[in-house]
Amino acid sequence: MSRLMSEFQAALPPESQVKLLSLTTYPEHDTPEVLDRYGRSFNANPAQWMLLTGPKKEIYDLAVGGLKLALQEKRPEERESDQDLFVHSTLMALVDKHGQLRGAFESLEPDSKQKILSAITALLREE
């Protein structure tokens, strides 16, 4: 998903009103410093693409309650590795400037990038 976000960032003009946002599923580990290093590995421009952490409850409330994304911690006996901590959605959400969820797109579909860019273009024409 981060690779795809990097591709969106490259496809959008730097002066675009579109902001990209990634939420951590592991806030106990993903401090702002950790996310900054991670973002740099994908050439994230903080003016366009924000990688956010915060209190776990608030992140989960936003992801599950607000954006309607699946997110659940795995119990230790379900984990296949030390990094296998969560089950989370691979959907990307499109939110307008009023904070309204306008669409959700499966990021693993082969044509997801074009679908999302088309939806962004349509939304920008609306506003």
Confidence of residue 62 (pLDDT cuts 50, 70, 90): confident
Question: Domains along the chain?
Answer: 2-117 (3.40.30.10)
Residues in the chain: 127
What pTM did the predictor assign? 0.77
pLDDT (tens digit per residue) in 76-113? 777 776 665 555 677 788 888 888 888 888 888 889 99
pLDDT (tens digit per residue) in 117-126? 999 999 888 8
What is the per-residue pLDDT for 74? 66
Greatest mean pLDDT among 8-12, 55-59, 65-69 lies in: 8-12
Long-range contacts of 23-30, Cβ-Cβ distance < 8 Å, separation of 24 or more:
23/52, 23/53, 23/59, 23/62, 23/63, 24/51, 24/52, 24/53, 24/59, 25/59, 25/63, 25/71, 25/85, 25/86, 25/88, 26/85, 26/86, 27/53, 27/54, 27/55, 27/56, 27/59, 28/56
Q: 97: which 2 tokens?
A: 């400037």
Closest CA to 60 of 24, 18, 84: 24
